[in-house]
């Protein structure tokens, strides 16, 4: 049994000794295949710059070129960007060098943290003013719906600073409206009547303002985590710092521009009715759209007039998946929450046989240098991606089409599924840990563990002789088991994790020390060697179990209460305790039986 477990452990631990290689990955922006002719064009672009490719791969959808070091990798990325232009996405990567037969067994190396593998660290700030503006705009739409439902007539609803001002014709209607709104928003809004007017002024309460900021921060953290996870970044660190900042660490990511694009982009949808009564051409010519309408452009550049009122926003979307419609065109299947489904059903039910448009809105934060200072501005792109006639009342699930390619439908579904950012975020601090620094940290961590292991083994060999040899073998096997478990679990190894391995190896030998000392005591008491070995293992087990369980409790507490590097240390510590209990007792006992078990009349043992 131990031999089989050890064999499996070796298989799953070995991939960690195959280091990742610097590579450049190319993927087409449109959904197209990479044929041999295109691969040849890539290779010629690299040869023209005198760059040597160690190996290349092409799965039809992505091309990967491996290089000897990061210097060549960076030069190759620049050369390929010049050669392919805007047709392909060129990204830096670290490709695993694990043999194919190991990968076929799903034997992969454990993930390395930012301090070992290299990567990017962002400190991002949430635009709380934008979060407040968004909430006030939402209240404005909800006020209109609430008053219309009660058939309360108002003159206008307009925003003035951070307040909403609703105007009425007389005081009686004003009082009725205030009573209606107070029932709905008493916990979040404060209502007042300006002196000598028939108006109602609504402002957000201090408690609600704090809640809006907390919600914006937490929703952004959740959205960023979903977005990064869906894009395949292994074990990112995304956590709150202060009242309005988020720390994002992406191990293994070297393309900081691409990472910022992923994290900072906000994508959502708006559903609006098409203004079929007025001419878009006249609106373009006059430069002024009709009252109650907004001028947009479709993907083909044609102008289109949409109603100013938004039927539904992407905030109500709970799920989105890419697919194809009945005509085999790229599409996105949308699911709404209960409130969104109710609003959408009502809006579409009232507009059957009328045209509805889907507006795709994307906001990015751009940083420009003006007079020596970095000025951040938000750039919003709004585009009508689909116009269709409502054939029947729509509710919780429906489909949108009009997308250019399956890739675009997948990207849109990903962003919608991950959710829109509650407020824009922008990078206030950016750090890149290079792979060379990570290699240095790995080398130092490996050396410290190696010298610690040698010191422990030397002591055991001198002090316990043959039983010291057995203890050292079980300690080495414990290291194999620990590496295999970390690899199977695809845990992330950091510098604190390496410290946890060193501590685990030091603590693991304690069990063997207890066993060996117990055997010595039994021998000194005159017990025969075979019985002394049996008694040593049996009587030391209780002490070993107690000491390891108490340490395991501390490790679990560290994992539950800690974050980031502390969790990494706790994971290694807890796994190391479990493997050390097996190797120090079961494995060492099996080796002792193998060495001494065939001698029933054993007179002396080397301990």
Q: pLDDT tens digit string along 436-478?
A: 666 787 788 888 888 988 999 999 999 998 999 999 999 999 9
**Start-end ranges of CATH 1.20.1640.10 in the chain?**
435-596
Nearest C-alpha neighbor of 32 from the set 536, 548, 404: 404
User: Is residue 10 very low, low, confident or very high in pLDDT (cuts 50, 70, 90)?
Assistant: very high
* Across 180-194, 370-384, 542-556, least confident range: 370-384
Report CA-CA distances (Å) from 304 to 140, 196, 280, 308. Answer: 25, 43, 5, 12
User: Is residue 367 very low, low, confident or very high in pLDDT (cuts 50, 70, 90)?
Assistant: low
- Over residues 373-388, the mean pLDDT reads 74
Q: Which fold has domain 265-432?
A: Gyrase A; domain 2 (3.30.1360)
Report CA-CA distances (Å) from 458 to 451, 465, 469, 482, 515. Answer: 10, 10, 9, 22, 18
- Dihedral sign for Cα 149, 150, 152, 157, please: negative
- Give the pLDDT of residue 12: 92
Q: What is the dihedral of CA 451, 454, 458, 459, to 10 degrees?
A: 60
CA gap 54, 499 in Å, rounded: 34
pTM: 0.58
CA gap 140, 361 in Å, rounded: 20
Residue 317: beta bridge partners?
Answer: 336
- Give the pLDDT of residue 375: 67
CA gap 50, 70 in Å, rounded: 15
Q: Are 459 and 475 a contacting pair, CB within 8 Å?
A: no
**Start-end ranges of CATH 3.30.70.260 in the chain?**
21-95
User: Is residue 481 very low, low, confident or very high in pLDDT (cuts 50, 70, 90)?
Assistant: very high
CA gap 324, 331 in Å, rounded: 5
**How far does CA 312 lie from the centroid of its chain?**
28
**Start-end ranges of CATH 3.30.1360.200 in the chain?**
265-432
At which residue do the structure tokens 């900072």 appear? 264
Residue 230 has pLDDT above 60, yes or no: no
At which residue do the structure tokens 């131990």 appear? 2
- Give the pLDDT of residue 336: 84
- Give the pLDDT of residue 11: 93
- Using one digit for the tens of pLDDT, what is the confidence trace for 99-108? 888 888 888 8
Q: Are 573 and 504 a contacting pair, CB within 8 Å?
A: yes
Query: For 128-208, CATH number?
Result: 3.30.70
Percent pLDDT > 70 in the chain is 89
CA gap 175, 145 in Å, rounded: 17
**How far does CA 434 lie from the centroid of its chain?**
21
Residue 95: beta bridge partners?
Answer: 21
- Using one digit for the tens of pLDDT, what is the confidence trace for 43-80? 888 988 888 888 888 888 788 898 888 788 878 888 88
Most confident segment among 60-64, 82-86, 232-236, 472-476? 472-476
In three-state secondary structure terms, 280 is helix
CA gap 467, 465 in Å, rounded: 6
Q: Which fold has domain 435-596?
A: Multidrug efflux transporter AcrB transmembrane fold (1.20.1640)
Q: How many residues does the chain have?
A: 607
- Over residues 7-13, the mean pLDDT reads 92
Residue 234 has pLDDT above 60, yes or no: no
Task: Quote the DSSP letter at residue 170.
Answer: S
Task: Select 21-95's CATH number: 3.30.70.260, 3.40.720.10, 3.30.1490.100, 3.50.50.60.
Answer: 3.30.70.260
Burial class (CB within 10 angstroms; exposed 0-12, middle 13-18, buried 19+) of 54: middle
CA gap 22, 97 in Å, rounded: 10
């Amino acid at each position: 049994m131990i031999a089989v477990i050890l064999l499996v452990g070796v298989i799953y631990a070995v991939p960690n000794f195959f280091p990742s290689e610097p590579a450049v990955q190319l993927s087409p922006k449109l959904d197209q295949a990479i044929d041999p002719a295109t691969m040849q064009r890539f290779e010629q672009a690299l040869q023209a710059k005198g760059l040597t490719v160690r190996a290349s791969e092409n799965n039809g959808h992505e091309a990967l070129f491996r290089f000897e070091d990061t210097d060549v990798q960076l030069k190759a990325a620049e050369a390929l960007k010049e050669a392919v232009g805007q047709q392909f996405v060129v990204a830096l990567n670290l490709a695993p060098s694990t043999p194919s037969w190991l990968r076929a067994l799903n034997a992969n190396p454990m993930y390395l943290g930012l301090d070992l593998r290299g990567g990017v660290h962002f400190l991002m700030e949430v635009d709380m003013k934008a979060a407040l503006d968004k909430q006030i705009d939402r209240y404005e739409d909800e006020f209109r719906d609430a008053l219309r439902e009660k058939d309360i007539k108002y003159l206008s609803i307009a925003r003035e600073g951070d307040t909403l001002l609703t105007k009425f014709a007389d005081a009686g209607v004003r009082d009725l409206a205030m009573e209606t709104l107070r029932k709905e928003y008493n916990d979040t809004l404060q209502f007042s009547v300006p002196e000598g007017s028939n108006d109602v002024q609504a402002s957000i309460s201090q408690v609600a303002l704090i809640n809006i900021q907390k919600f914006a921060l937490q929703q952004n953290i959740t959205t960023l985590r979903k977005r990064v996870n869906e894009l395949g970044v292994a074990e990112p660190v995304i956590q709150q710092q202060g009242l309005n900042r988020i720390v994002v660490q992406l191990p293994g990511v070297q393309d900081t521009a691409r990472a910022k694009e992923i994290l900072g982009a906000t994508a959502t949808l708006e559903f609006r009715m098409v203004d079929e009564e007025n001419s878009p051409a006249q609106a373009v010519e006059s430069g002024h759209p009709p009252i109650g309408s907004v001028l947009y452009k479709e993907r083909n550049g044609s102008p289109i007039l949409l109603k100013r009122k938004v039927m539904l926003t992407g905030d109500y979307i709970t799920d989105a998946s890419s697919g194809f419609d009945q005509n085999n065109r790229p599409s996105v299947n949308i699911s709404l929450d209960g409130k969104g489904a109710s609003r959408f059903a009502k809006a579409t039910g009232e507009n059957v046989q009328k045209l509805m448009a889907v507006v795709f809105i994307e906001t990015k934060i751009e940083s420009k240098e003006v007079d020596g200072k970095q000025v951040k501005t938000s750039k919003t792109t709004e585009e009508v991606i689909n116009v269709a006639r409502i054939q029947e009342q729509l509710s919780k699930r429906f489909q949108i089409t009009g997308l250019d390619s399956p890739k675009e439908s997948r990207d849109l579904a990903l962003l919608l599924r991950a959710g829109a950012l509650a407020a824009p975020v922008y990078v206030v601090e950016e750090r890149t840990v290079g792979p060379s620094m990570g290699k240095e940290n790995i080398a130092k961590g490996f050396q410290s563990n190696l010298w610690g292991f040698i010191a422990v083994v030397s002591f055991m060999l001198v002090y316990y002789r043959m039983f010291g040899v057995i203890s050292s073998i079980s300690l080495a096997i414990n290291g194999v088991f620990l590496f295999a478990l970390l690899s199977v679990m695809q845990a992330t190894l950091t510098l604190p994790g390496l410290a946890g391995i060193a501590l685990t190896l030091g603590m693991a030998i304690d069990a063997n020390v207890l066993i060996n000392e117990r055997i010595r005591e039994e021998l000194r008491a005159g017990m025969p060697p075979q019985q002394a070995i049996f008694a040593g293992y049996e009587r030391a087990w209780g002490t070993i179990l107690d000491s390891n369980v108490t340490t395991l409790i501390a490790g679990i507490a560290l994992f539950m209460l800690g974050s980031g590097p502390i969790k990494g240390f706790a994971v290694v510590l807890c796994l190391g305790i479990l493997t050390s209990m097996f190797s120090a007792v079961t494995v060492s006992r099996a080796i002792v039986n193998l060495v001494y078990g065939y001698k029933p009349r054993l007179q002396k043992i080397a301990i």
